[in-house]
Copies of this chain bind each other. A is one copy, B any other.
């Protein structure tokens, strides 16, 4: 058992190293030696733990998505313990999203990279699709608690997630003086809640 754990630890160490690298350079400009250096392991080892460079990428993307799914589920468990009503829950959800996901600049940068990879690579795209579907579904269910129209809830969910991703993009591409990211996020979310 510890063997497998060590093995997984080392792999995660390498995936974390890639995560670090992606703050500096896009994946295509990141060499295996770059990743090995960041992980402080010999570059030859990367070929022991991963089939090839693309395999590192695929596992990395799964790792990132899993990580944030876990983060979300942990938050959900914690939040459900508290006695929020439906509306408050949605507000809490947006708060969590804004602070931990959308305005998390390191994460947003990585996601812009993942979008691009997914746009050209159907395997990655499938993984990402699944994540977005789950995300939209989750939000949809929450909105359903405060509205009567499931179809409308789903559409608003999709639109809201699109909006959040657009904001994540802007947080990386635009300078803070263009507009106040936080204000636009919360202001618009308030309108969305009201419109339901």
Contact = CB atoms under 8 A, between A and B. Distances in A.
Contacts of A109: 119
B169 A162 contact: yes
Nearest to A183: B155
A195 B174 CA distance: 25
A101 B83 CA distance: 44
Interface in A100-146: 109, 112-113, 115-120, 125, 128-129, 132-133, 136
Contacts of A162: 163, 166-167, 169-170, 184
Interface string A71-101: 0000000000000000000000000000000
A68 interface: no
- Copies per complex of this chain: 4
A25 B120 contact: yes
Contacts of A166: 161-167, 169
A159 interface: yes
Interface residues of A, number: 49
Contact of A155 (B116, B125, B158, B188): B188
5 contacts: A119-B173, A155-B184, A155-B187, A162-B163, A164-B166
Given A136-B178, A155-B180, A162-B170, 4 more contacts: A26-B28, A115-B115, A115-B169, A155-B187
